[in-house]
Structure 1
Amino acid sequence: MTAVSTTSGTSFLTGRPLRLAVGGILILNGLFPALWILFTSLKGEPELLRKPITWLPQAPTLENYLRAFTDQPLLLFLFNSFMVALLSTIATLFVSTLAAYALARLNLRFRDLILSAIIAVSTFPLVTLLVPLFEIMRALGLLNTWAALILPYIVLSLPVCTLILVSFFEGIPRDLENAAMVDGCTRLGALFKVVVPLSAPGVFTAGILAFVNAWDEFLLALSFNSNPALRTLPVGITLYQGEFAFPWPVISAALIVGIVPVAVLIVIFQERVVSGLTSGGIKG
């Protein structure tokens, strides 16, 4: 009986039930805040203040979404965030692709040291970089422009994107590049015509991470841009609060509107992102 009990306990700790339980907890932890924001966005102010708290909206309304677009220029915030995130992602992918290819293919003398430096740089807290970056942007005359956000976002996303792409490029056989160069391709041509297409899951993964980081960033967007016409979504959402009041339903509606583009992007490229993360982990 003891042996059976021990085996049963070991089976639970290492088997499917435990994995399902852990997965369920992680899913609940990730979904609960989003669901709470969604439910709040569908409530009116009186219902939100009612006690005891009602989890589900008793009288759902879309008025908060209308106010989210009329109380503040939400469409402008979305446009600014999208353009900044898109341009920084494109630039990040281009630079990180070149850097990753050099680290993966060229016989660099201090390759391991460079990789260690990239990992170290990626651990710097953003707040420690705020003052130096602000002084650089002011010296370059870039404050209150998209460039003041795009350039730092590129630098901040480069380490992670480069490490992801290095892992993928190292898994591509060199013979494929050599064959392309024999057929007349330059090394750059072989990179973009052979290596990058074969590393599509890694490229998509790096791109999604860079885009989401730029879309969600708040500290730099608040510090480097005081022009109302150039505010991004995270900063714009803070403008809904009044001096003595917080319209939580309206703020929640604006948050849901900001979550939707990223959620749609991840759903569309879900398979490639998952493939990129798992393949990168195996190769690394």
Structure 2
Amino acid sequence: MRKRTLGHRIGLAIACALTALFVVLPIYWMVATSFKTDAGVSAPSPQWFPNPLSAESYVNAFVNNSFGRYILNSVVVAIAATIIVLALGTLAGYALGRLPMRGKFTTLMLLLMISVFPAIAVIAPLYLLMRELDWLNSYQALILPYAAFNLPFAIWILRNYFLGIPREMEEMGRIDGANPLRTLWSIILPMALPGLFTAGVFTFTACWTEFLMALSFNSSNDFRTIPVGIALFGSPHITPYGTLFAASTVAVLPIAILVLVFRKSMVSGLTSGAVKG
């Protein structure tokens, strides 16, 4: 029995190591390539370590390709959409999870259907709507659609997390004379921070990496976001791999930092939704 357990642990450790290698290796290759010279990038044999180290690709990304502007646009769009999603998702999730109301099941099923609806199916009518509103090449052309597409998932997460909070907490608020909004703000929200962090990180990530709507609605270089900007680097005959990898490395950093900082809250928020939902 002990041998089986030891063999099982060894096999599990090997499987985890291989999985980690499979995940980490492409990221390492991207970062290492971003610090290579043009000669190192185009070398016939792969160089696992950049020699010499060069920041040329980062200079090209920011100086020659307006990458700083793309970062600013992505930050504005992603933060604005995340704020809208958290504000509306909190109210809707609290109402669906805690307040007595009719049609909860129907509403939840509609949210589920909307959350799996592909964006490409509505990209044409959305484009026509943005054109009629004169919103093409603007921040709101992305902020509002991003908020609309990410809101159902946020409502699901927050509603399930609200369900896990003891109802005695709300009764305490009622005894003190607080209305539902006051109870939500003063009592429920502080206890639901892991759920808010989870919904916020997932929403921000989805907005930060979205490509199709950003490409379709904003053709001006002043409003392009990071995914579109990176895709348009280079020319039809030349692909600047070093610059692409440098820009991709910078683009990945905010998401990696968010996940590392809020990883415990995200795990708590997701597991609470899985158990209580």
Partner of 2:186: 193
Partner of 2:209: 216
Partner of 1:51: 44
Structure 2: give runs of 5+ residues left out of the alignment: none
The answer to whether the 8 A contact 1:91-1:154 is kept is yes
Where do 1:19-30 residues align within 5 Å?
19-30=12-23
Select the residue among 140, 146, 151 that pairs with 1:147: 140
Partner of 1:276: 269
Partner of 2:91: 98
Matching residue's letter, 1:222: L
The answer to whether the 8 A contact 2:80-2:143 is kept is yes
Q: Which moved more, 1:134-143 or 1:157-166?
A: 134-143
Partner of 2:157: 164
How many residues align? The count is: 277
Distance 1:235 1:216 in 2: 9
Where do 1:209-248 residues align within 5 Å?
209-248=202-241
The two structures, once aligned, show a CA RMSD in angstroms of 1.9
* 3-state secondary structure, aligned to 2:235: coil
Taking structure 2 as the reference length, the TM-score comes to 0.93
**Could you say if the C-alpha distance between residues 55 and 98 of structure 1 is closer, same or farther in structure 2, counting changes exceeding 3 Å?**
same
Partner of 1:173: 166
Distance 2:16 2:151 in 1: 30
Where do 1:248-259 residues align within 5 Å?
248-259=241-252
Distance 1:114 1:17 in 2: 48
**Could you say if the C-alpha distance between residues 27 and 170 of structure 1 is closer, same or farther in structure 2, counting changes exceeding 3 Å?**
same
Q: CA deviation at 1:252?
A: 0.7
Partner of 1:125: 118
Alpha-carbon displacement from aligned partner over 1:89-133 (angstroms, at most 9, x marks no partner): 000001111111111122333222222221222112221121122
* 3-state secondary structure, aligned to 2:90: helix
Distance 1:249 1:55 in 2: 14
The answer to whether the 8 A contact 1:71-1:240 is kept is no
Partner of 1:77: 70
The answer to whether the 8 A contact 2:164-2:272 is kept is no
The answer to whether the 8 A contact 1:72-1:239 is kept is no
Alpha-carbon displacement from aligned partner over 1:17-52 (angstroms, at most 9, x marks no partner): 444344333333332221111111111222222222
Taking structure 1 as the reference length, the TM-score comes to 0.91
Q: CA deviation at 1:197?
A: 1.1
